[in-house]
Structure 1
Amino acid sequence: MSSPDSSRPRVLVVGEALVDAVERNGAPIVEHVGGSPANVAFGLAALDHEVSLATWFGRDDRGRRITEACRAVGASLVEGSDGAERTSVATAVLDENGAASYEFDITWELPPLPDFDGVGHAHTGSIAAVLEPGGSQVLDAFRRARETATISYDPNLRPSLMGSADEVRGRVEALVALADVVKASDEDIAWLYPDQFVPDVLRHWSTLGPALSVVTRGGEGALFALYNVGGVVTHPAFDTEVADTVGAGDSFMAGLISGLLDAGLLGSPAARDRLRLASLADVRPAVDRAILTGGITVSRAGAYAPSRTELAAPSLPDRACLTGLA
């Protein structure tokens, strides 16, 4: 692993770190460190960004594994992140195609955050943005963070924990409104906005605030809406053999943030203005990176975080395959 590039803006990721207990075809349970925001932090660190993770876990064996996982990739932990009574667990059951369904034993609070000075970009999402008491703390923190940093958000919805779509929609849209970049899955959209056309949801989100909204569609690639363009653009998937889908959306999110940071479209209020005025050509390299990081992740077992060296090895689908406005 190479050292983070100090010339890139510092990133703060806020949200759950937990242990994924993975069950596959009756085989013995295998445990991995996971949690959607933690996976994003690990993915950004693997791509040589300076990352801090504000999370909530216990001082137990599983918590020590989270600390070791952060140390291994070079992501720092915000002080107080180990203040929980126990470390949360997500049980992931994989079907014959490698797709995961989850059950959770989780608690969530936000540790005291230091001043946002020096943070160029902040990311949150999933359980931490909704589950109380930490969910309201996250919303308040990101209202403060927006004054000096750009914001990204991934709803990564978990209906079994979050209640009904009607109960959750207001919180999701409050965070969408704060964000410069939002990424969701087509499953998130189907649950949150039943019977609505996905491009219409992307257009709706664009009216709330984000300059870039993306919906991932598994093997069908992604849709993205750019404020300055006004339409919805499709991007093909990266063609690879799937081992499992654990962490694929988080890897996509890390690749997207990384590409936008490298392009100077995230990381400061001035970068926010540039993203607001960006063209398709400006953001496509970041979407390319997101598609590729997610594709590499699904080709490996578990929430694998690819490095920059790996991104340079395989070839992306030809950009001529990109279709126009939908």
Structure 2
Amino acid sequence: MLIACGDALIDFVPTRTGEGREAVMPAVGGSCLNVAIGMARLGAPTGFVGGISTDLFGRMIADHAAASHVELNLATRSDRQTTLAFVRIVAGESHYAFYDAETATRNWTYRRGSIPFDTVEAVHIGSTTLVNDRGAAETRALIADAWPTSTISFDPNCRPNLVKDKPAYLARMAEFANQADLIKMSDVDFGYLFGDEPYQQRARVLLGQGTSLVVITRGNHGAIAWHAGAGQIEVAAPEVEVADTIGAGDSFQAALLFALYKQGRIAREALKDISADELRRALSFAASCAGLTCTRPGADPPWSHEMSGNW
């Protein structure tokens, strides 16, 4: 099984009324839930770990996950309210306003011994769950149990408007990166974390500390990856008509993990030995999945039958 641990929420995505006025539409989201949805829809056995409310919106989330074949037996249900995120598109980038105080996601608690990690090939973490102290501490405990047998995937998916203490946040992201086998981040996230540092320079640092694969996604400029054995690989982004970019990075992450899983390269030692051709194929597939996600509003990763010609 592959699992994603973190946020599950409702995005209110921008749309228009019949009269042309601005409006918003509720859509299930949350970066880590999106990754779980994406992996499951492509055909990987997938579970989600995190807090999901039993309220109206929480039921929407649970129904959406179940319809996408995501196992929720590892999730924690509570009567705390669901996190809400209002999205606005500015210069092609998604900007978020979060309502996250005392929510089910924010108050998730990891239950030691509840996950049979010997059956879990990879664990994905990241995003808003790691911003607050409690979420980071619970995720840290989960990673400690998972690391001996499971590959760790990490996408910081930074949300600067939630960060109150940037130096502490940067230190926390460095800590999680130091435990990750695979790190993916957008160019925007990279800029927030590392400023004007060249991509390749930071990639060398991350590979030197034990990470096997570092990937930077750059929107319509494609993605670049660095691997100690396979070297530097760049893939193009497909040309698509963009509805919005919500969930595109999560779809890329999900598809990359799925592709590594299908190639038998997701286990820690197997990932270290991946060939350049295998990695290029996985990255190209991930870019194709992200491109398709951009053609429809909200976080709506593709199903396996939609990508059958690409894998």
User: What TM-score comes out, normalization by structure 1 length?
Assistant: 0.87
Q: Does 1:261 align with 2:277?
A: no
Paired positions, count? 300
Q: Does 1:285 align with 2:284?
A: no
Cα separation, 2, equivalents of 1:235 and 1:164 = 35
Cα separation, 2, equivalents of 1:312 and 1:130 = 37
> Is the CA contact 1:246–1:301 (under 8 Å) kept in the aligned structure 2?
yes
* Percent pairwise identity: 32
State the AA in 1 paired with 2:236. Answer: P
State the AA in 1 paired with 2:93. Answer: A
State the AA in 2 paired with 1:30. Answer: M
- Deviation at residue 218 of structure 1 after TM alignment: 0.3
Deviates more, 1:56-65 or 1:163-172: 163-172
Equivalences for residues 42-121 of structure 1 within 5 A: 42-79=37-74, 81-83=76-78, 85-95=80-90, 99-106=93-100, 107=103, 108=106, 109-112=108-111, 113-121=114-122
User: What TM-score comes out, normalization by structure 2 length?
Assistant: 0.91
State the AA in 1 paired with 2:251. Answer: S
Match of 1:246 in 2: 246
Cα separation, 2, equivalents of 1:177 and 1:61 = 38
- Which runs of 5 or more structure 1 residues have no equivalent in the other structure? 1-9, 317-326
Deviates more, 1:271-280 or 1:250-259: 271-280
> Is the CA contact 1:56–1:111 (under 8 Å) kept in the aligned structure 2?
no
Tell me, what secondary structure is at the counterpart of 1:64?
helix
- Which runs of 5 or more structure 2 residues have no equivalent in the other structure? none
Match of 2:183 in 1: 182
Cα separation, 1, equivalents of 2:306 and 2:92 = 22
Match of 1:211 in 2: 212
Cα separation, 2, equivalents of 1:138 and 1:310 = 33
Tell me, what secondary structure is at the counterpart of 1:179?
coil
Q: Give deviations 1:265-296, integer Å, cap 9, x for gaps.
A: 11xxxx31121122211211111111111011
When residues 92 and 77 of structure 1 are mapped into structure 2, their CA distance, relative to the original with a 3 A threshold, is same
- Deviation at residue 246 of structure 1 after TM alignment: 0.4
- Deviation at residue 71 of structure 1 after TM alignment: 1.1
State the AA in 2 paired with 1:234. Answer: E
State the AA in 2 paired with 1:163. Answer: K
When residues 66 and 251 of structure 1 are mapped into structure 2, their CA distance, relative to the original with a 3 A threshold, is same
Equivalences for residues 189-204 of structure 1 within 5 A: 189-204=190-205
Cα separation, 1, equivalents of 2:264 and 2:63 = 31
Instruction: Name the Cα RMSD after superposition.
Output: 1.8
Q: Does 1:19 align with 2:10?
A: yes
State the AA in 1 paired with 2:201. Answer: D
Deviates more, 1:129-138 or 1:178-187: 129-138
